[in-house]
Amino acid sequence: MFFDDLFDSVNGSFSKPKGGKMYRTAVTPTSPHHKLWNKTLPVLRSMRFHNGINHGIVPSLSSWIKTVENFKRILIYLNSKGINSYIKLIIKINLDLIFL
């Protein structure tokens, strides 16, 4: 469920949850996305993969960390510009750009 929720949280495109997917909605000032992202960042940073010889963080985990951090930055920026009532605002961003 960890990655399912995380993936849903950056791909929400509905104003209300569908199919029991509470994170598959637009980000709002009071949505659960913020709590999820704050909770998942330390977990993502602590994950390591071991292959018997080497261990470390893989590019996909680094990309998830950047994605979550950048989503948080975007929302802070929008708020600083007075866009704080984005209840109906749906942030659709091409994740390939964030993963760079």
Burial class from Cβ neighbours inside 10 Å (0-12, 13-18, 19+) for residue 99 reads: middle
Tokens describing residue 14: 């509905």
Q: Are 44 and 29 in contact (CB under 8 A)?
A: no
How much is the pLDDT for 88? Answer: 45
Q: What are the respective helix, strand and coil percentages of the chain, to the nearest 5?
A: 50, 5, 45
How much is the pLDDT for 93? Answer: 53
**What distance in Å separates the CA atoms of residue 1 and residue 61, rounded to the nearest whole number?**
16
pLDDT in 10s for each residue of the chain, 100 residues = 899 999 888 877 667 777 888 888 878 778 899 999 999 999 999 998 887 887 787 888 888 999 899 888 888 888 888 876 554 454 555 454 444 4
Tokens describing residue 76: 């802070």
Q: Are 78 and 28 in contact (CB under 8 A)?
A: no
Name residues whose C-beta falls within 8 Å of residue 74's C-beta, 6 or more positions apart in sequence. 91, 93
How much is the pLDDT for 86? Answer: 54
How much is the pLDDT for 38? Answer: 96
Range of the domain at 50: 2-98
Number of domains in the chain: 1
How much is the pLDDT for 84? Answer: 61
